[in-house]
Amino acid sequence: MAVTYVDHMGSDLSVVNAARVSFARESRDLGPNDIGLINFLMRERHASPFEHATLTVLVDTPIGVQREWMRHRTQSFNEFSTRYAKIGEPEFYIPPEDALRTQVGKPGAYHFEALEAEKAPAAREKFESAYQAALDAYHELLDMGVARELARNVLPLGMHTRFYATANLRNWLNFLSLRTDSNALREIRDEAARVEALIEDLFPHTYSAWLQHERHAI
Amino acid sequence: MAVTYVDHMGSDLSVVNAARVSFARESRDLGPNDIGLINFLMRERHASPFEHATLTVLVDTPIGVQREWMRHRTQSFNEFSTRYAKIGEPEFYIPPEDALRTQVGKPGAYHFEALEAEKAPAAREKFESAYQAALDAYHELLDMGVARELARNVLPLGMHTRFYATANLRNWLNFLSLRTDSNALREIRDEAARVEALIEDLFPHTYSAWLQHERHAI
Amino acid sequence: MAVTYVDHMGSDLSVVNAARVSFARESRDLGPNDIGLINFLMRERHASPFEHATLTVLVDTPIGVQREWMRHRTQSFNEFSTRYAKIGEPEFYIPPEDALRTQVGKPGAYHFEALEAEKAPAAREKFESAYQAALDAYHELLDMGVARELARNVLPLGMHTRFYATANLRNWLNFLSLRTDSNALREIRDEAARVEALIEDLFPHTYSAWLQHERHAI
Amino acid sequence: MAVTYVDHMGSDLSVVNAARVSFARESRDLGPNDIGLINFLMRERHASPFEHATLTVLVDTPIGVQREWMRHRTQSFNEFSTRYAKIGEPEFYIPPEDALRTQVGKPGAYHFEALEAEKAPAAREKFESAYQAALDAYHELLDMGVARELARNVLPLGMHTRFYATANLRNWLNFLSLRTDSNALREIRDEAARVEALIEDLFPHTYSAWLQHERHAI
């Protein structure tokens, strides 16, 4: 799994100047008042100035995780197509030992614990053999002449896909609010953490203000 | 695969009255001038009046088809969760004989033909056995104690899911423009045809105007 | 100023059933568990089930207020057109005495107080004469042959306009969070209060859950 | 009236690489195949790759024109606030002689012609005096102690405002399709032409493909 930087527009100063247009002002360099303004905007949930900075990333993740990611309708996506392209040497998600978990408790009131250590190797082998069987069936269907767009139905949700994702800073912060939450799927939390590192690097004062205000959605 | 009516708001008259607010007018019943107005709006691509009517459907479809459907970011979705819920007796997509197809030609210039009839039974058995193997692996992982949200990775894209989809009339027409196109995946075309039948029934004059204007997006 | 009900789709039960599709369940009638589910969704900010119910209203308000309203990009709008239509007997916003206010304090730390009572009549006359002068200039420009779409430039922000607004229940709640806030413009707060009364009437359990969770945006 | 470049992200190559992720390919430099791909995307209305490039502009325009601009809900806006800020020396829109026009024909079948030359000076003076009277009334209301957010109701639609607008390349092209159309308001057409010049400069191959495909919305 990977989240790679592709491109971005703007900086903390873009946020400031989008807000200052309300007062017909403009800042050339980021000063203490500007940082105070970013905090004010975050506290008062004045979200629109955060929409004039953008970030594009390239994500490599299992289809099951991508399906959660794509629920964020304010993002723009382009994805690898199992309809158009040949699957070369696909990668599959075999949970590493520290991610292998079991669900404890009833629906609505459960938590996760590590799978007992002695069960991990067998579980990981089961993932691997299931993936291999699915890939074999896929190739057999292709060999029979079945179109790719049909044969792909036997491919598993654990197969990796790749996609571009573009959103503005406001929407990335909202994505992080939801997807770094402790209730989020662990695998998407790991990816969100990589987005978060990019946001911290590119927009440090916005990021700091967002932390101070409890990582809330705006 | 199924698309079932759940609820709707409005009628052709809603479109008309949303447009007539521009002139501070209102129609009580749909007359010939109103039908002419709907045609004018469609021809001139004045799309906003078509946003005040809505339709909700319940869709039952393979995950691979749902993934295309969910690219329509102007729709609202709620879907069956393989994270939260137990999979009871899942349905899998085994293409019926008349949908079993082969891809002929090069990328960018190919078309589909029916798979040779003698190959069809073997292909359909291959789908079935691959699905059964995946489902078995899923249950074995659950029996080992692996959490549902991890075990589901071995489930195939051909497994059915169910979701609510709500959109306004403008966005449904745009969905139909794209998804009933001859380049669209056959399986989503079949579902779009069911949405189209609902639109024709609920909004007959809008539907007729859309047909006259070449089913274009607005 | 007025907010009038036009149409709606759904009920509290629509919210419940959109959420229950996650578990492949459905409710026929709204029971105690369903009301608990609505509270759970609101508390956990699971917003998508609130998108399958919609409400359309017709709003009559000054252009200056409409300009704030239209910043809600998730709504659908159709408005009276000063480009296409003749302005008959336009209404203008002369603040009633109890809305006539003065700003006290510095930018960023001010509040409003009632204008001194003896100044109110003169202020209201000033509004009235300014509006009348603008309307006269508009008609003189039309009499000179100037096109409506140019002459309207002299019309004031206090002139009333009318528009249809359609949104789903999630977005209406977010609109209310922002526009019933004590920092919001008083005139839009009054209109939001009318929307709120409609929401309470149509979706009483959703409304009650939203109140319990501090009227936060979802 | 002015449209000024503020910032942008991406290039024609961004469009190409967002599309090529479908095939797990990437281009380092823009070659003839890439330009062919851009044409293919435009012809087939594969719009999503055009969403990974963005442009921010600063617009200075009359409020009446801004009201049309803000109907584009896929853009992000921040605007000068007549609620928060003092109006210094506002600019008002007095149509230049070559923009002074009269409407000829019936509603639905009219066109515009130049206002008779001898009437132009009087018309321009009428605009000027109406604007001055409105500004005077505004200041008199402020002098009486009326809050800015109320006094602004007497200000005219022809008063200039300033705003940031950010959108992705797909949405800018759709904006241009609608707002450079001969039916669009002349004043917004002039501004759209300035956006168009920026798009041509920053994304020349996308622009060229859009021209070839009749400037249609995607």
Summarize pLDDT for D166-207 with one digit per residue, the tens.
999 999 999 999 999 999 999 999 999 999 999 999 999 999
Closest chain B residue to the Cα of A125, Cα to Cα: B141
Confidence bin at A21 (pLDDT 50/70/90): very high
Share of chain D above pLDDT 90, in %: 88
C99 CB neighbours in chain D (<8 A) are 150
With both helix axes pointing from N to C terminus, report the angle between A204-212 and A169-179 in degrees, rounded to the nearest 10: 40
Letter for the amino acid at B88?
Answer: G
Residues of C whose CB is below 8 A from B22:
78-81, 84-85
Return the pLDDT at D177.
Answer: 96
Q: How confident is the model at residue B174 (pLDDT cuts 50, 70, 90)?
A: very high
Residue with tokens 């079993």: B100
Q: How confident is the model at residue B109 (pLDDT cuts 50, 70, 90)?
A: confident
The angle formed by the CA atoms of residues D18, A78 and B217, to the nearest 5 degrees, is 105
Residue A134 has pLDDT above 80, yes or no: yes
pLDDT on residue D156: 98
Between the two ends of chain A, the Cα-to-Cα distance in Å is 28
Q: Sort out which chain A residues have CB atoms less than 8 A from D56's CB and list them.
A: 9-10, 14, 52
List the chains bordering chain C where 3 or more Cβ pairs fall under 8 Å: A, B, D
Contact A44 C183 (CB under 8 A): yes
| A144:B127 CB<8 A | no
Best B154, B186, B190 residue to mutate vs chain A (most A CBs within 10 Å)? B154
Instruction: Give the percent of chain A with pLDDT over 70.
Output: 99
- The angle at the Cα of B189, spanning B108 to B209, to the nearest 5 degrees, equals 105
Closest C-alpha to B213, from B186, B174, B182: B174
CB B52 within 8 A of CB B14: yes
Say if residue B160's pLDDT is above 80.
yes
Mutate to test the interface with C, among D72, D157, D182, D189 (most CBs of C within 10 A): D157
Residue of B126, B131, B139, B186 to mutate when probing chain A, most A C-beta within 10 A: B126
Tell me the chain A residues in contact with residue C44 when contact means C-beta distances shorter than 8 Å. Answer: 183
The domain made up of B2-79+159-212 has a fold known as: Gyrase A; domain 2 (3.30.1360)
Tell me what pLDDT residue B106 has.
79
Query: For chain B, what are the domain ranges?
Result: 2-79+159-212, 97-154
Residue C120 in this model has a pLDDT that exceeds 80: yes
Question: For the CA atoms of A13, A18, A19, A23, what is the dihedral angle to 10 degrees?
Answer: 110
Question: Taking 80 as the threshold, does the pLDDT of residue D108 lie above it?
Answer: no
Helices and strands counted in chain C (H then E): 8, 6
For residue A147, which amino acid is it?
A
Query: At residue A94, does pLDDT exceed 90?
Result: yes
Spell out the alpha helix ranges (H) of D12-119: 12-20, 32-43, 63-69
Tell me the shortest Cα–Cα distance from D89 to chain B, in angstroms: 34
Of A64, A129, A147, the CB nearest to B101: A147
Selecting among D28, D67, D162, D179, the annotated active-site residue is D179
Name the interface residues of A facing C (CB cutoff 8 Å). Answer: 44-45, 48, 71, 178, 183, 217
ipTM more than 0.85? yes
Query: What pLDDT is recorded for position A32?
Result: 95
Instruction: Specify the pLDDT at position A110.
Output: 86
Q: How far apart are CA D46 and CA C51, in angstroms?
A: 27
Q: Provide, as residue numbers in chain D, all residues whose Cβ is less than 8 Å from the Cβ of C135.
A: none
pLDDT tier for residue D111 given thresholds of 50, 70 and 90: very high
**Angle value at C-alpha C161, between C159 and C165, nearest 5 degrees:** 150
Tell me which residue in A84, A129, A185 faces B149 most closely, judged by beta carbons.
Answer: A185
pLDDT at A211: 97
Maximum CA extent, chain C: 68
- The interaxial angle of helices A12-20 and A204-212, nearest 10 deg, is 80
Contact criterion met (CB < 8 Å) for D166 and A23:
no
Q: Is the pLDDT of residue C205 over 80?
A: yes
CA gyration radius for chain A? 21
pLDDT of residue A24: 86
The answer to whether D42 touches D210, Cβ cutoff 8 Å, is yes
Structure-token match 């873009």, residue found: A14
B2 HSE (CA, 13 A, CB side): 8
Angle CA B166–B167–B168, to nearest 5: 140
The count of other CB atoms within 10 Å of the CB of residue C21 is: 22
Residue C110 pLDDT:
86
Active site residues of C: 179
Neighbours of D214 (CB within 10 A): 7
Do D217 and B44 make contact, defined as CB atoms within 8 angstroms? no
Q: Quickly count: other Cβ atoms within 10 Å of residue C46's Cβ.
A: 17
Inter-chain contact C183–A217, Cβ cutoff 8 Å?
A: no
Question: Chain C: which residues have CB within 8 Å of chain A?
Answer: 44-45, 48, 71, 178, 183, 217
Share the mean pLDDT of chain B. Answer: 95
Chain C residue nearest residue D84, CA to CA: C107
Q: Which residue has the tokens 């010049």?
A: D197
Q: Which of A99, A129, A137 sits opposite B130 (nearest CB)?
A: A137
- Name every chain B residue with its beta carbon within 8 A of the beta carbon of A92: 153
How far is it, in rounded angstroms, from Cα D50 to Cα D52?
6
SS3 D213: coil
Candidates B67, B103, B150; nearest CB to A95: B150
Mean pLDDT of chain D: 95
| Amino acid (1-letter code) at residue D125 | E
Residue type, D25: R
pLDDT single digits (tens) D4-46: 999 999 999 999 999 999 888 899 999 999 999 999 999 999 9
Cross-chain Cβ contact D154/C150 below 8 Å: no
Catalytic-labelled residue, pool B20, B179, B194, B215: B179
Residue A84's pLDDT band (boundaries 50, 70, 90)? confident
Angstrom CA distances, D33 to B133, B186, D13, D30, stand at 43, 29, 12, 8
Q: How far is D54 from chain A (nearest CA, A)?
A: 8
The rounded distance, in Å, linking the Cα atoms of B148 and B83 is: 6
Q: How many CB atoms lie within 10 A of CB D25?
A: 11
Interface of B with D (CB under 8 A): 44-45, 48, 71, 178, 183, 217
Contacts of A82 (CB under 8 A, 6+ apart): A148, A149, A152, A155, A161, B64
How far does the CA of residue A87 sit from the closest CA of chain C (Å)?
Answer: 31
User: What pLDDT is attached to residue B218?
Assistant: 85
Counting one residue from chain A and one from chain D, the pairs whose CB atoms sit within 8 A come to: 100
Please judge whether A100 and B150 are an interchain contact, meaning their C-beta atoms are less than 8 angstroms apart.
yes
Rounded to the nearest angstrom, the minimum Cα separation between B45 and chain A is: 24
Q: What is the mean pLDDT of residues B151-161?
A: 98
What's the one-letter identity of residue B45? R
Tell the burial category of A213 from Cβ atoms under 10 Å away from its Cβ (0-12, 13-18, 19+): middle
The label of the residue with tokens 């495909």 reads D213
Chains that touch A (3 or more CB pairs under 8 A): B, C, D
The answer to whether the CB atoms of D141 and C156 lie below 8 A apart is no
Residue D126 and residue C144: Cβ atoms within 8 Å? yes
Q: What tokens does B29 get? A: 């019943």
The residues facing C9 across adjacent strands are C54
Query: Which one is catalytic: A25, A162, A179, A215?
Result: A179
Helical segments of chain A, H only:
12-20, 32-43, 63-69, 120-143, 148-151, 169-179, 186-202, 204-212
Q: In 10 A of CB D85, how many CB atoms?
A: 15
Q: What is the mean pLDDT of residues D45-52?
A: 96
Residue B23: the pLDDT is 84
Q: Which residues have CB under 8 Å from D60's CB, separation 6+?
A: D1, D2, D3, D4, D91, D160, D161, D162
Please indicate whether, in this complex, the C-beta atoms of B62 and A153 are within 8 angstroms of each other.
Answer: yes
C-alpha A54, offset from chain centre: 15
Query: Position of tokens 């998108």?
Result: C51
pLDDT, tens only, D118-163: 999 999 999 999 999 999 999 999 999 999 999 999 999 999 999 9
Token output for A158 = 């654990």
Contact C147 D102 (CB under 8 A): yes
Confidence (pLDDT) at C217: 86
Q: In terms of CA atoms, which chain C residue is nearest residue D137?
A: C130
Q: Collect all residues from B whose CB is shorter than 8 A from any CB in C.
A: 6-10, 14, 17-19, 21-24, 48-49, 51-52, 54, 56, 58, 76-81, 84-85, 88, 162-164, 166, 168
Residue of C nearest to B163 (CA): C21
Q: What is the pLDDT of residues A167-203, one digit of tens each?
A: 999 999 999 999 999 999 999 999 999 999 999 999 9
Cβ within 8 Å, pair A52-D76: yes
CB-based contact D115 C145, cutoff 8 Å: yes
Place of tokens 């382009």: A78
In this prediction, residue A23 carries a pLDDT of 85
Q: State yes or no: pLDDT of C107 exceeds 80.
A: no
Q: How far is B156 from chain C (nearest CA, A)?
A: 19
Give residue ranges of C with CB < 8 Å to any B CB.
6-10, 14, 17-19, 21-24, 48-49, 51-52, 54, 56, 58, 76-81, 84-85, 88, 162-164, 166, 168
Give residue C1's pLDDT.
79
Q: What are phi and psi of D2, to 5 degrees?
A: -155, 145
**Which of A107-121, B44-58, B190-204 has the least mean pLDDT?**
A107-121
Which pairs with CB-CB distance under 8 Å and at least 24 residues apart come from D177-180? D177/D215, D177/D216, D177/D217, D178/D217, D179/D68, D179/D69, D180/D215
